[in-house]
Amino acid sequence: MKKVSIGRTLNLFLTTIIVPLLIISIFAMYYATSFLSELSKNNNLQIAENLKVSVENFFSEPENDLRILRDLLLLDELNASNMDEYTQVFEIYHKNQSKFHHYNIVDVNGISIYNYPLEQNNVGFDYSNSEYYNAIQSGSEKFWSKTHMDTRFSQISIDFALPLQDHILTGTIQLESLSNVLNSILEEDGVIVGITDNTGVYILHSNYTNVEQRITDPYVNRRVLNYEEVQINNDNYFGTNIRSNYQGWNIVLYEHVSKQRDKVLQFSIILSVIIVASTLVVILLGNRLNSILVENLSSFVNRTKSIADGDYSESVDESRYIEFNEIGSNFSLMAEKIQKRESKIVAQNREIETMNRNLELRVQERTKELQESNEMLEQTLSNLNETREQLIESEKLASLGNLVAGLAHEINTPLGIILTVVTYMQELTEKIKGNLSNNALRKNDLLKYTQSMEESEILIFDNVTRTTDLIGSFKLISSDQMSDENRMIDLVDHIENIVRGLEPSLKKKDIHIELMHSGSFEIKTIPGSVYQVMVNLIMNAALHAYEHMGGTIEIELFEDEDTVDVVVRDYGKGITEENLKRIYEPFFTTKRGSGGTGLGLNITYNAIKQSLKGNITAQSEIGKGTAMRVTLPKNIEEKKEL
Amino acid sequence: MRQQAKFIALLIFILMFTACGQNQNIRIGFVGTLSGPNSIVGISMRDGILLKVDEVNAAGGINGQQIELLIQDDLNDADKIKSINETFIQDGIDIIFGHELSSKAKPLFEVIKDRELTVMSPTLSTYELSGIDDNFFRTIPSNYDQGTELGNLANLESKKTLFIYTNANKKFADGVNEGYADSFSGSTEEYPVKTNIVDEAEAIVDIYKSGNFDSVMYVMNPDDVMYMSQMFFKHQIDTEIYSSNWGMAVNMLDKGGRAIEGATFVSFMGNLDGPRYLSFRDAYYEKYQKEPEFAAVYAYEAASFLFEALKESDSLGYLDIKSSLLNLGEQEGLVSPLKLDEFGDIKRKLFLAVVEDGKLVILE
């Protein structure tokens, strides 16, 4: 795991504060820009609307004024022949208003009949082609002209005309004077405010030059501006224009983009200052916190080093922070306790070392003792194994003993017969010899003798043959018994031979064996092992099932596809369930006192499992008997194990 | 600390970052009289070129460069004219447009003579400048030709003409007067208006009355023409009125009323039914809500001519522009074709227009 310092972690923590702060600021700026823009737009529109109202009010005043003049003129029922009275009225009137610069009255033909002030000298001029004349003649109640250059005064002017009975009264306003009056509205830094006549030419403008130079507003005649960025004199402005219902005049307002930018910039600067200040505060506080932590912690670090080096005397520097002091005093307490514990541990360690040394000696002694015991045990085991081998061998020999006993019994009978016949023959021969020497031999006696001899020979031959057969089978069995080689055998014959060998001893116990099979079973197996297995099973049944009661042992053979089953069944007393589980254990016997070794079934089991690659199962029921089923492969070489 | 420093730097960067940078514009100086009693031609001229500039800029400029028109009001004052032109040159302006009156030729040439810039005027017509290989170009025939046209007409109607002209534009007036005198078989007398027409009109009437004149010839601005005519009308003097093109303003005829009826003006505008003129007129009317005066038409034409030349010019250097202007060949004007000769002057047909029922009608 990568190790990092607290300082760096603290920086990371500060970063997690500063980054969101910056992100929020950027969003704030973005939205503030939109907001300020919308605000300016509405503001400009409002200014334009106000201006519109102001202008409409402003121009409604001279309209009313001129109407008053007209009413005055009409009231006095003046006529053109009495100019002095006109002049008196105009003088009084003109003193009380300031909008109009001069006035003119034209007659029905458009010819000027009077003007005030009189110096204008345009009486007699023809205005019949003028817009106002045509408009009033066409029935208009009033008419504002376009702006025009008033030649006499070199002033951009605008005329207001009213019908005066069949005459027309006009007043002329010099726009420059209006500009002065409207200065307060028109002047604002970075903002162009203007009013145009219905042709788009400025009547009023923040910069009067635009009025003087008869400049046409570049946009009012073409499109409505709603705080859109436009160019004026190669400079960018946000333009707003609205049309007044008044004479088709337009109010235009252009705010220099820099003004908007200034607002954003101003906002940005304030925001930036706040951000920078708060960032700095965070950094400074963070650093201070960092240095406090690092400074105090380094004292602890040094202390821990000292403690690690075993120096418990050094104390932590006094801190002005309660928490660090508390940690410091805890640290000292901890050091003290560690020191005590360490001393205790050292003492205990010494004790343990001593104990360890004693223990080691004892272990060595014990080990030695154990080794000796082990050797003794090994010896005992070896002896036991040897004894076991001997016992197994004894078992083998015991079974051979049974065989030999049977064989001896079998051979004994024919040999007895032969002996009897031979004795009889000797008697007959002696009798014949006596008769011959006595010449008392009769033909009939000789014939009888010969006949007896032939009969005796046959009898001897039969018994000798029988004996030979018995010995042959004994030889085969005994040689098998000593050999582990496998070969093809007829299992039925083999078992019959075994049974035959055992019959004499079984007869003594009044045991009768019944062999049941459905023909011959040729199998390839180890005959010696089969012999040993069968003898053990039969003798076991004879010995344990029937004890000395006598009974029948059934040997039944079944054939399967690859295997042959040999079931040795008795109808004796049976084996308890508990004992049935243990019958294959070595040295397990219920006849310990009666000379049982407890190895018979163990050997049998091993022989079947290991040598014959077969299987053995036992079923038993108390009082009903036991069935031992031995399953053997038909070909031992093809079957590893069943 | 390093991380915080980075963020502060980023913040400052964001705050300080403002996309700036301007395309290189083609700057053209405009000089004309835009205020005061003689401003009507200058204003029309300005309105005409502004319309053209707007159109060209809206269409992407000249070879991608926008035109920036720097407009200056010379107040019809010689010193002001000189100072404006000098400032333009000092500011590295390569092209100057305007100078509507012949009276401005003198101060203008005092500044631009042998200087490396191109000067174009749509209306400065003094014939003294004709036939000179220089850096001055114009698209209006000379004033002498105007006088000749009017003189030829006066021969049919008049015997004695009072020649009333604005002394401030004497150079122009002299040309017209010479042309008039050379073609007019009757006699002429001159009256230069030295202060202003309002103050001198009565005196002029008296001179007229006492001089047995039957006609007047104006070389004055439209306002003065209208005022003087009203004065004759007021005094019930029925006189033939002739005027140079300077006095003609379609939007000011209302000021003349019946006083200006029958007056004959030199007009540079013949056929006003052509599609090019009508298209221009509609655009002009849309922008200004008034009919274009001849100075507007000529300014628009001259600007078109100049801008075509700029498109072909290798640079804004005056030699390149000159070469381009002279090689441009005949261009379709708004009212008649125009082509510069080797001196940068032009030959165009002149027309005469008569006021009938408050409107100008071109004489066939």
* Span A173-192, pLDDT tens digits: 888 777 766 666 666 777 88
Which residues are CB-contacts of A23 (< 8 A; sequence separation ≥ 6)? Answer: none
DSSP state of A217: P
Taking each continuous run of H as one helix and of E as one strand, the counts in chain A are: 13, 18
B206 band by pLDDT with thresholds 50, 70 and 90: very high
CB of A324 within 8 Å of any CB in chain B? no
In this predicted structure, the answer to whether residue B18 has a pLDDT above a threshold of 50 is no
For domain A484-633, is the CATH number 3.30.565.10? yes
Average per-residue pLDDT for chain B = 86
**Interface probe with A: pick from B23, B25, B27, B43, most Cβ of A within 10 Å:** B43
**Which of B18, B45, B41 is closest to B30 using CA atoms?**
B45
Is A129 close to B253, i.e. CB distance below 8 A? yes
Q: ipTM value, please give it.
A: 0.78
CB of A243 within 8 Å of any CB in chain B? no
**Which of A260, A255, A108, A109 is closest to A191 using CA atoms?**
A255
Is A129 close to B230, i.e. CB distance below 8 A? no
**Interface probe with A: pick from B2, B35, B54, B202, most Cβ of A within 10 Å:** B35
**What's the pLDDT score for residue B21?**
41
Of A130, A212, A214, the CB nearest to B254: A130
Compare all CA atoms of chain A with the CA of B284 and give the residue at the minimum distance.
A221
**Which architecture does CATH list for A10-259?**
2-Layer Sandwich (3.30)
For chain A, the domains span 10-259, 364-482, 484-633
Please list, residue by residue across A62-76, b when 16 or more beta carbons sit within 10 angstroms of its beta carbon and e when fewer do.
Answer: bbebbeebbeebeee
Contact A69, A162 (CB under 8 A): no
Compare all CA atoms of chain B with the CA of A212 and give the residue at the minimum distance.
B35
**Which of B325, B312, B322, B278 is closest to B297 using CA atoms?**
B278
Is A151 close to B224, i.e. CB distance below 8 A? yes
- Cβ contacts of A17 on chain B, cutoff 8 Å: none
pTM for the full model?
0.57
For A281, what's the count of Cα atoms within 13 Å in the CB-facing half-sphere?
A: 7
What are the backbone angles phi and psi of residue B161, rounded to the nearest 5°?
A: -120, 130
Is B227 close to A151, i.e. CB distance below 8 A? yes
CA dihedral A595, A599, A600, A603 (to 10 degrees): -160
Q: How would you write A543-600 as a 3-class SS string?
A: HHHCCCCCEEEEEEEEECCCEEEEEEEECCCCCCHHHHCCCCCCCCCCCHHHCCCCCH
Sheet arrangement for strand B136-138: B67-73, B26-32, B95-98, B118-121, B136-138
Q: Angle at the Cα of B273 (from B267 to B279), degrees rounded to 5?
A: 105
Give the end-to-end CA distance of chain A in Å, rounded to a whole number. Answer: 59
- Just give the CATH number of B26-141+273-349: 3.40.50.2300
Distance, in angstroms, between B340 CA and closest chain A CA? 31
CA dist., res. B79 & res. B160, Å (int): 37
Tokens of A163: 């019908």
- Encode pLDDT of A541-588 as tens digits: 888 888 777 889 999 999 888 899 999 999 988 888 888 888 888 777
Give one DSSP letter per residue of B271-304, joined into a string.
Answer: ---SHHHHHHHHHHHHHHSSPPPHHHHHHHHHHH
CA dist., res. A449 & res. A252, Å (int): 177
Q: Which residue ranges in chain A fall short of pLDDT 70?
A: 1-7, 76-82, 98, 120, 180-187, 314, 316, 388, 391-407, 409-410, 473-474, 476-483, 592-597, 639-642
Of A126, A154, A234, the CB nearest to B259: A126
Of B1, B3, B39, the CB nearest to A214: B39
Tokens of B82: 């000189």
Residues 372-401 of A with CB under 8 A from B: none
Query: Which regions of chain B does DSSP assign to beta strands (E)?
Result: 26-32, 67-73, 95-98, 118-121, 136-138, 160-166, 187-193, 215-219, 240-243, 264-267, 351-356, 359-362
B100 band by pLDDT with thresholds 50, 70 and 90: confident
Tell me the CATH class for B144-267. Answer: alpha beta
**Interface probe with B: pick from A127, A213, A231, most Cβ of B within 10 Å:** A213
B141: cis peptide before it, omega within 30°? no
- Cβ contacts of B54 on chain A, cutoff 8 Å: 218
Determine the average pLDDT of the residues in B81-93: 93
In this predicted structure, the answer to whether residue B8 has a pLDDT above a threshold of 60 is no
**What's the pLDDT score for residue B345?**
79
Confirm whether B26-141+273-349 and B144-267 share one CATH topology: yes
- Encode pLDDT of B252-299 as tens digits: 888 899 999 999 999 888 777 888 899 999 999 988 888 898 889 989
Q: At what angle do helices B78-90 and B105-112 cross, to 10 degrees?
A: 30
CB of A24 within 8 Å of any CB in chain B? no
**What's the pLDDT score for residue B215?**
95
Is A214 close to B358, i.e. CB distance below 8 A? no
Helices (H), B212-335: 222-234, 253-256, 275-288, 294-312, 318-326
- Encode pLDDT of B136-181 as tens digits: 888 888 888 889 989 999 998 899 999 999 998 888 899 899 999 9
B187 band by pLDDT with thresholds 50, 70 and 90: very high
Is A11 close to B286, i.e. CB distance below 8 A? no
CA dist., res. A600 & res. A440, Å (int): 67
DSSP state of A609: I
**What's the pLDDT score for residue B218?**
95
The gap from C-alpha A57 to its chain's centroid, in whole angstroms, comes to: 78
Is B227 close to A198, i.e. CB distance below 8 A? no
User: Bridge-partner residues for A126, per DSSP?
Assistant: A111
Of B14, B40, B47, the CB nearest to A216: B47
In this predicted structure, the answer to whether residue B312 has a pLDDT above a threshold of 80 is yes
DSSP state of A634: S
- Cβ contacts of B286 on chain A, cutoff 8 Å: 221-222
Determine the average pLDDT of the residues in B192-210: 92
What are the backbone angles phi and psi of residue A194, rounded to the nearest 5°?
A: -150, 160
Compare all CA atoms of chain B with the CA of A113 and give the residue at the minimum distance.
B234
Contact B99, B105 (CB under 8 A): yes
Contact B207, B191 (CB under 8 A): yes
Strands A191-196 and A202-205 come out as: antiparallel
Contact A132, A161 (CB under 8 A): yes
**What's the pLDDT score for residue A632?**
92
CA dist., res. A22 & res. B11, Å (int): 7
Contact A243, A252 (CB under 8 A): no
Is B34 close to A214, i.e. CB distance below 8 A? yes
For chain B, the domains span 26-141+273-349, 144-267
Compare all CA atoms of chain B with the CA of A261 and give the residue at the minimum distance.
B18
Compare all CA atoms of chain B with the CA of A134 and give the residue at the minimum distance.
B254
CA dist., res. B154 & res. B214, Å (int): 10
- Cβ contacts of B34 on chain A, cutoff 8 Å: 212-214
- Cβ contacts of A201 on chain B, cutoff 8 Å: 288
